[in-house]
């Protein structure tokens, strides 16, 4: 059969076609037009460690790549050694008893979230996402045909979701509430009492709390366990706890994450993971298992360094760019209100990249109602870069200077 030249091409699935392009590459493209006139570009767009992994991990990884066993397929939910090591670490951190069989190892925390959502929701269901939300989580829900329902938070409340707002957003289609703490993009830290209250709401309505703690390692020492949910006898029925090894261990390229959940969820997650990747990188898992204990002091030092960068960022912004108000900051991030009221955040962020070589992410990438904000990730920039960023940002003062074409 001869086809006409005008014949329609196969279409992309509508749910996926409607999802926005990945935000980080979109923003990074703005630097292509920067002419360098203001000095070297300062990229504070992506949450990535600004230092190399610990030598103990790197040495163990090199050794593991030479083992034939680690080149073969592995267990879908991760190597036993890593599941046990992470279970022991979490048990010590929270003062509870987490078993290896409560743990699934994934190829990064985004994959853990993808699998978690598929376990508890399907097309036509909804999941509550406090705004500002982590954009990859919204994208995942949308492409799966699951409605991401925004639960607005307010700067005067520390960008923390209230119990009342969550209660009001629950409908018969709601299957889960997602809570990211410390938060991406705001850096807000949800206290244990609020986490417990939100879990109680979920339990009362028969929905799951998906708790993403990717940045918990950067909490100040001595503050105690981030929450007490693992002490509840029913936690395996209503909690899925997610984690990424990328930040604390400085290994984002190794793509390792984890999920802690009850047997029903992990059994279902195994079906999802087997169809996506079968197993995470086995040499990376082999290297990480002993590194959880051996790099504890190294991780504590690096976390202290990140907290010092946060303090430096606050001081530099107060001194050199006071018009750009820090509304919230913590872990890797500062959520900053730009001084150009009524101007959309993409226009502001794009201008900063193209004209000043300062790369940030617009608040609108993180959900509705965020046009007044920029997310700034300071963890991957050294002291000199932070100072240069604030000084240059302080020179952007007049709204009329933002008149530019798209």
pLDDT tens per residue across span 328-337: 999 999 999 9
pLDDT tens for 315-328 read 999 999 999 999 99
CATH number at 320 reads: 3.90.1150.10
Examine the pLDDT at 364 and tell me if it is beyond 80: yes
pLDDT tens for 169-181 read 999 999 999 999 9
Both 91 and 178 in one domain: the answer is: yes
Query: In terms of Cα–Cα distance, which of 331, 132, 301 is closest to 215?
Result: 331
* Mean pLDDT score of the chain: 94
The pLDDT confidence band at residue 373, using thresholds 50, 70 and 90, is very high
Both 19 and 132 in one domain: the answer is: no
Kind of pairing between the strands at 174-180 and 147-152: unpaired
Query: In terms of Cα–Cα distance, which of 219, 212, 214, 193 is closest to 331?
Result: 219
pLDDT tens for 20-65 read 999 999 999 999 999 999 999 999 999 889 899 999 999 999 999 9
Both 114 and 39 in one domain: the answer is: no
CATH number at 154 reads: 3.40.640.10
Q: Bridge-partner residues for 104, per DSSP?
A: 259
Both 23 and 145 in one domain: the answer is: no
Both 234 and 347 in one domain: the answer is: no
Contact assessment for residue 358 and residue 392, using Cβ atoms and an 8 Å cutoff: yes
Average pLDDT of the segment spanning 195-206: 98
**Angle at alpha carbon of residue 22, lines to 46 and 257, rounded to 5°:** 60
pTM of the model: 0.94
pLDDT tens for 228-241 read 999 999 999 999 99
SS3 label, residue 74: coil
Examine the pLDDT at 402 and tell me if it is beyond 90: no
Cis ω on the peptide bond leading into residue 182 (within 30° of 0)? yes
Kind of pairing between the strands at 333-337 and 239-244: unpaired
Structural domain includes residue 2: no
The pLDDT of residue 398: 47
d(CA 183, CA 188) in angstroms, rounded, equals: 5
């Amino acid at each position: 059969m001869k086809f006409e030249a005008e014949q329609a091409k196969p279409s992309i699935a509508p749910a996926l076609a409607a999802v926005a392009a990945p935000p980080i590459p979109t923003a990074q493209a703005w630097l292509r037009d920067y002419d360098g006139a203001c000095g070297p570009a300062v990229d504070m767009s992506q949450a990535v460690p600004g230092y190399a992994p610990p030598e103990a991990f790197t040495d163990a990884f090199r050794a593991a790549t030479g083992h034939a066993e680690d080149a073969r397929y592995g267990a879908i939910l991760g190597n036993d050694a890593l599941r046990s090591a992470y279970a022991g670490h979490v048990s010590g951190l929270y003062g509870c008893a987490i078993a290896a069989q409560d743990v699934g190892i994934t190829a990064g925390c985004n994959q853990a979230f993808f699998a978690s959502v598929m376990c508890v929701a399907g097309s036509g269901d909804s999941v509550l996402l406090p705004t500002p939300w982590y954009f990859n989580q919204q994208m995942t829900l949308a492409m799966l045909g699951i409605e991401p329902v925004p639960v607005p938070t307010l700067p005067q409340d520390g960008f923390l979701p209230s119990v009342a707002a969550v209660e009001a957003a629950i409908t018969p289609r709601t299957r889960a509430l997602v809570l990211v703490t410390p938060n991406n993009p705001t850096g807000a830290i949800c206290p244990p009492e609020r986490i417990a209250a939100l879990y109680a709401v979920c339990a009362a309505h028969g929905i799951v709390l998906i708790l993403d703690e990717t940045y918990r390692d950067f909490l100040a020492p001595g503050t105690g366990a981030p929450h007490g949910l693992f002490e509840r006898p029913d936690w395996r029925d209503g909690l899925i706890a997610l984690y990424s090894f990328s930040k604390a261990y400085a290994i984002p390229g190794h793509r390792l994450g984890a999920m802690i959940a009850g047997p029903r969820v992990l059994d279902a997650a195994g079906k999802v993971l087997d169809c996506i990747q079968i197993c995470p990188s086995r040499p990376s898992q082999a290297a990480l298992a002993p590194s959880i204990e051996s790099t504890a002091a190294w991780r504590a030092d690096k976390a202290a360094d990140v907290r010092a960068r946060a303090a430096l960022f606050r001081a530099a912004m107060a001194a050199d760019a006071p018009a750009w108000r820090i509304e919230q900051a913590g872990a890797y991030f500062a959520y900053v209100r730009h001084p150009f009221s009524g101007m959309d955040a993409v226009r502001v962020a794009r201008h900063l990249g193209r004209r000043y070589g300062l790369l940030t992410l617009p608040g609108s990438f993180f959900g509705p109602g965020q046009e007044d904000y920029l997310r700034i990730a300071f963890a991957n920039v050294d002291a000199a870069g932070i100072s240069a960023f604030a000084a240059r940002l302080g020179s952007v003062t007049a709204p009329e200077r933002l008149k530019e074409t798209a």
